[in-house]
Structure 1
Amino acid sequence: MDYPLDKMVVKFSRPVVIDGKEVAEIEMMEPTLRDRILYDKDKDGCEVEQEARMIARLVNVESEKSLYGLPACDYKQLQDAFNQMVKAPAARKQS
């Protein structure tokens, strides 16, 4: 069974370089059960590193290290987007 997955665009406070490209925004895919399983199985590093790996997968970047240069305010926006995307579609904030 395939479901249409939502995506959310996160606009950064200023352009940043991710995977060698300057970007002003990034698109996050809606998490799936598979993403949750991968997160729960991930035992490498601290919880923040595990979360960064999950978010990196959802925004389709090479690795969590690609996000290490993000300003904290922009990483917080990615966390907030994730927290919206795990809600039912009708309960998500519209941006």
Structure 2
Amino acid sequence: LLGVLAQRLVRKLCPVCKKADARERYHPVGCAACANTGYKGRTGVYELMVADDKIRSLIHSRAAESQLFVAAEQAGLHSMREDGERLITEGITSPEEVMRVTRE
């Protein structure tokens, strides 16, 4: 096992009509270019867990999910929500869209 990759698709904000708020986060508005949805196209949010020796050992010993999660975070795991925050900061998608697909 080399790693585990998870992905979800988020809608991309329409580049024609997206509007920034006071915190410079963009939100959907809607226009003719996006059929009044505020979104046009999709992109992925990703989470990659690289399986190092410690993680492989935990998997082999059937460790609890919580132990695996702690080991993955120590090895540099970034969650889908964190990847979504990057897309929000870059103006690619909205906070609402990231929350919609990363709810647990």
TM-score of the alignment, normalized to the shorter chain, above 0.5: no
Bigger proportion of residues as helix:
1
TM-score interval w.r.t. the shorter chain? 0.3 to 0.5
